Amino acid sequence: MDHERLQPPSLTLLDRYRGEGFTSLYTTTVTVSGGEAAHGRASGTARSDDGNLILDLRLPAALGGPGNGTNPEQLFAAGYAACFHGALSLLAQRAQVDMTQTTVAVVVSFGRDPADGGYALIAEIRVRMPGVERNLAEELVRNTERLCPYAKMARAGIHSIVSVID
């Protein structure tokens, strides 16, 4: 099978946008159904509109479930880590820094929120950049925090629209 080598995106993604409002570059939809327990978190299935993502969702054992499936915290951590790594890679490429050994781990904790008695998430980003001088690594990570949309969402919130559709 003939396969083209995967390439990083263009550095033009670092160009500043000067438009009047939000301009969508990509949109996806993931739909969750409830499954056996009629509860998306406990027994659901997540499917993307293009069919590239199909996951069984399961409540982790730590929360009283059976485990043996993906949970929302893992999905959020994966998205956050991938986005942060991608943004960091663009900045490192522009600075001519080798990223081949760099890893980004995101630790997501689900827990009780004393502010409202409900629940909250805490995310910790752990960046490992072997072979990169520490001051340069810290500068790249600080700049990535300003570029990465997940970091921006975690810092400033997200524009969210909730609606009931027919």
Q: How large is the average pLDDT for residues 137-163?
A: 95
Task: Report how far residue 139's alpha carbon sits from residue 163's, in angstroms, rounded to the nearest whole number.
Answer: 40
CATH topology of domain 1-70: N-terminal domain of TfIIb (2.20.25)
What mean pLDDT value characterizes the chain?
A: 95
% of the chain surpassing 90 pLDDT: 95
Q: Most distant CA pair in the chain: distance in Å?
A: 56
Q: How far is CA 96 from CA 30, 92, 141, 150, in A?
A: 36, 6, 15, 24
pLDDT at res. 156: 93
4 falls in which pLDDT band (50, 70, 90)?
Answer: confident
- Kindly give the interhelix angle for 149-156 and 134-147, rounded to the nearest 10 degrees: 70
pTM, whole model, 2 decimals? Answer: 0.91
E strand or H helix at 45, and its extent? strand 45-48
Report which of residues 1 and 165 the model is more confident about.
165
**In the CATH hierarchy, which top-level class contains the domain 71-166?**
alpha beta
Backbone region of residue 35 per phi and psi (left: phi > 0; alpha: psi in -120 to 50; beta: other values):
left
User: Do residues 97 and 89 lie in contact, with contact meaning Cβ atoms separated by under 8 Å?
Assistant: no
Domain ranges for the chain:
1-70, 71-166
pLDDT at res. 108: 97
46: β partners: 32, 55
Q: How large is the average pLDDT for residues 51-73?
A: 94
Q: How large is the average pLDDT for residues 50-55?
A: 96
2 falls in which pLDDT band (50, 70, 90)?
Answer: low
pLDDT at res. 79: 97
Q: Quick check: 26 pLDDT over 80?
A: yes
Task: Report how far residue 105's alpha carbon sits from residue 123's, in angstroms, rounded to the nearest whole number.
Answer: 10
% of the chain surpassing 70 pLDDT: 99
